[in-house]
Structure 1
């Protein structure tokens, strides 16, 4: 029996190309992983099978297949394989999961953590307690909110929502919401007699957020409210009528809640559905036409329109980036940025254009453009801890992109990156203390650990203790499998890094040990002569071949108190070296 032909990679990294070695095509490849080298593929010479898909999608149509036999419509220019490879690389670079995976592979390919979205959020809310009756086998139904909580409880939960959630996710008018609460809890002869109203989806969503931001663990009422909102929204998806502004608002609430409590896949699919609903209602258009197909059934305040579209974009962009998946882009969108509620005060919407510039399909993904975007992000001044975390998350993503391009960042810019990272860690601890389980309180500390290990200088490694302390506080406050996994993985990455450092130190010590013996006889003779001589003591610069050590002491201030002469002339090496 003949052996099957051995598979060869059609892609070789730059190191394997220069050494003319066979490359496995992995990231990092087997050779770079073995020697601990930085594995880099030249995008100008890469060819991936995915490039064929892009070429087929942009290929000119066959005139014979057109419906009317007319000339084919103009098509977009073909996307080259180089651009395809760059886009795929950018998708991975946007993802914190891919970054953590590459970091582990570079240090220890055998024990590196698998590809996984660590610290996606603080973890799923606990399931229904045992005291809760099991659901019936019949189709679940939405429970009227007036049967779930009292009006006083609703007012309390609304207060929590606007104190903790609204400053970051501002898209609901408080006065209008409170009027709806009063109307919903009127005597049973009016609206409260209804099984539920479409606005119940908003009230249920707001109340669920109130529980989420006031209790470490979920209660049965929170889960019931979230389920009621879901059932109402699912029912509206089956309707032939265009969704109302209230339904869109409830969808934004649901996607936001899923981002903080559910799995990555559930949050991503919901965010994509939200973008399609935005398109169906025409909320992405600043001045929708009266004759447009996409038309809301009722008038909408322009500021409300902008904020709902801005929130939908923000959620879909970042969930897609973190999963290394494509986002939904609504072509022809003309919506303007929302007006800040407080003049000259930055909101989350101010960071949206910079976030979207990281899309692999944009043209502004080169090193100079990314470095300029990074400086713009760092120039923003945010006071609220929630927004500091959003800003820090965006900054870390841009830094990952620059590292993927092998860009050398200047020292002052790197110092600013570390400064904002420390600020983000402090913000995360404040959020934990105030029971605000934003997903960034888990994600930012974990990514700071990964980024610090990747930077690998004194200042970055000195921040590891602060990052791990923050991650430990989050895990202690929200004792979930997700947080235990994130903390253990961060610990593993630091352990692998430390072992690699020990191996490097031992290699250097071995070199010094082997090469120190040649100078011992001469040193002993010179020391004997110095003990009987009245001539002044010589410095290292007086010995041929060692003048560079004096310059080293000057160039490295931290060696100022180090006895270099005694070190070079001693044969007392540590045991076991």
Structure 2
């Protein structure tokens, strides 16, 4: 029997190091177990990062809670918690956090993550009772119908999904298309309405035998995606038709990806619809993987490359790419812009790597309404991508980026939520660098946060379940607690009321969990404030006798000749301070010191209160 090779480790415990023995890196290691020696790793050594990494790897086999990894979650699990651990393995064990580590600035992929920000906020307030690392309010929650099970997808012979014309009537489809262009298109403008309606009418025309045999999978997938959005933005609870349309689109796209058919604009459009729908209804893992697949499809079709004037797509595609059929340049730019937006923000929020297409030459899309609506979501893309955590940014650059975001004038509620989300991300980055935002800039941050809360309430009232309508109120609560000044604390009531409205409209496990966590953070913050107040109160009580004697001294001094500060024992240093600091020479220090101040309040009697009459 061949002997298995010894397990090698890059780090060793202190016992194996001192005895110069081989160490397996486990906790405890096999050598210490064999000799009955206490196994201990020195976390403060110069190899601290490697030690912690190996501890987490070795303990993950025995306890998943000690070293959580990325969760592989199904794409359409009904109303299951959508939390996902967003730290890398070297930072993920909550129980391994030491006080020094919780105060360390974020400098990795987790710099942009709202989940990491909420976790660090809880650790700062109360490390013992802080909420676990979790993506709270990722979206409104998974779509499901509690009255009936999800409808099964109808399949033709051979396992092919049923065409769209057999699932829904043309009139029903047109009503769902109208909802899409009324509520979704203003924020996600990547589909030409006239072109879609024209092809929709042709799709329901009686077809000849030849046309019936022609595959319509890609355009049917577009219609299924638009129809699913129409149901999502018109009914708070998913009807069976919505789930059937979403699942049919998934099957069609999967079949197209493995087929030999050349790619088309409809295929990319259907994938954009799929990723956007998953971002609002599914789990983080499913949305992130779909967004990465979409970016790879963009690269494979050359949509990230700008077409020179007069040059066909077939000759302008990148090497080894599969060129699309000729399409409008603006359509190409909008599809690429939407794919970038979805992948960037999903990756930011999950603290995962995004797909970067090097050599991209696509230009920004031209606004459809330069006069009435000059600002579209694509204008915010460069600002979003500038927050790549792999790029080093100092505080002045982040403050400049924050100012640029605050200067953007938006009126449509979905875009205001996008702007607010971007602003909150930049503010999290500044706090990660221990940079205090104060003055007029902080007032503008609070103003945009308040504007975002109003937009979230408008979206809930009009049945527009944008994921930002759930995420922004929760993150605003966390940000206000982190700012912790009078203006921020005064806004907490509005933020919690907004979050409560979202919970009332979309009563899902995800939203209830987010609301409870926000309440817990506020409760921990209140207890911390009460403890601070008690400490101050104890000090005041200790010196209450001295305060009373000073009051009597002031009353006596009012009838005596005036004296300078130097005449009073213990206050001569104030006179020296006034001399050394010219800016204080006009400051009436005596008046400040001897202005009547209310003395310490008397303790209320047990079971009663102090009368103020």
- TM-score tier (shorter): 0.7 to 0.9
* 2:342 counterpart of 1:315: yes
Equivalent residue for 1:213, pick from 229, 233, 239? 233
Alignment of 1:55-454 (within 5 A): 89-127=107-145, 129-130=147-148, 141-187=160-206, 189=208, 196-287=216-307, 289-290=315-316, 292-343=319-370, 345-363=374-392, 365-454=393-482
Matched, 1:471 2:499: yes
* Separation (CA, whole Å) in 1 of partners of 2:564 and 2:501: 52
Aligned-pair Cα RMSD in Å: 3.4
Shift in Å, 1:517: 2.1
**Distance in 1 between the 2:261 and 2:44 partners?**
53
User: Matches of 2:536 and 2:40 in 1, distance apart?
Assistant: 42
Distance 1:425 1:545 in 2: 53
Conservation of the 8 A alpha-carbon contact between 2:164 and 2:224: yes
How far residue 406 of structure 1 moved from its aligned partner, in angstroms, is 1.0
Between the aligned partners of 1:545 and 1:215, the Cα distance in structure 2 is 74
SS of 1:509 mapped into structure 2: helix
Q: Distance in 1 between matches of 2:459 and 2:566?
A: 57
Greater shift in the superposed pair: 518-527 or 439-448: 518-527
How far is 1:90 from its partner?
A: 4.0
Give secondary structure in 2 for the equivalent of 1:567: coil
Comparing 141-150 and 477-486, the one that deviates more: 141-150
Q: Note if 1:30 corresponds to 2:113.
A: no
Q: Distance in 2 between matches of 1:199 and 1:134?
A: 21
CA drift of 1:566 comes to 5.4
Cα distance in 1 between the residues matched to 2:150 and 2:103: 54
Distance 1:202 1:283 in 2: 18
CA drift at 1:540: 12
Q: Which string of whole-angstrom CA distances, capped at 9 and with x for unpartnered residues, describes residues 534-570 of structure 1?
A: 779999999877999xx99x99xxxx9xx973533x5
403 and 534 in structure 1: CA distance in 2 versus 1, 3 angstrom threshold: closer
Corresponding position of 1:565: 596
Change over 3 Å in CA distance of 1:118–1:11 after alignment to 2: farther
Cα distance, 1:193 vs structure 2: 7.8
Cα deviations by residue, 1:223-267 (Å, 9 ceiling, x for unpaired): 000011000000011123442111000000000000000000000
Q: Is the 8 A contact 2:125 2:525 kept in 1?
A: yes
Give me the whole-angstrom Cα distance separating, in 1, the residues matched to 2:139 and 2:298: 26
Q: Is the Cα–Cα contact under 8 Å of residues 128 and 223 in structure 1 kept in the other structure?
A: no
544 and 573 in structure 1: CA distance in 2 versus 1, 3 angstrom threshold: farther
Could you tell me which residue of structure 2 aligns to residue 462 of structure 1?
490
CA deviation string 1:399-421 (max 9, x = no partner): 00011011122311111100000
Tell me: CA distance 1:539–1:572, structure 2 relative to 1, closer, same or farther (3 Å): farther
Relative distance call for 1:196 and 1:5 in structure 2 (3 A) is same
Matched, 1:3 2:38: yes
CA distance in 2, matches of 1:225, 1:158: 13
Mapped partners of 2:563, 2:165: distance in 1: 91
Aligned pairs, how many?
Answer: 503
Cα shift at 1:470: 0.5
Query: For the Cα contact (< 8 Å) 1:158–1:207, is it kept in 2?
Result: yes
1:185 Cα offset (Å)? 1.1
- Report the secondary structure of 1:9's partner residue: coil
Residue 571 to residue 341, structure 1, CA distance change in 2 (3 Å): closer
TM-score normalized by the length of structure 2: 0.75
Q: Matches of 1:440 and 1:181 in 2, distance apart?
A: 31
Q: Taking structure 1 as reference, are residues 238 and 545 closer, same or farther at Cα in structure 2, changes over 3 Å only?
A: same
Asked if residue 491 in structure 1 is aligned to residue 555 in structure 2, the reply is: no
Judge conservation of contact 2:145–2:237 (CA < 8 Å) in 1.
Answer: no
Q: Which range moved further: 291-300 or 450-459? A: 291-300
Matched, 1:40 2:104: yes
* Cα 1:180/1:129, change in 2 over 3 Å: farther
Q: Deviations over 1:20-48 (max 9, x none)?
A: xxxx9999953459xxxx8235xxxxxxx
Is residue 473–residue 496 contact of structure 2 (8 Å, CA) maintained in 1? Answer: yes
The TM-score normalised by the length of structure 1 is 0.80
Does the CA contact (< 8 Å) of 2:110 and 2:116 recur in 1?
yes
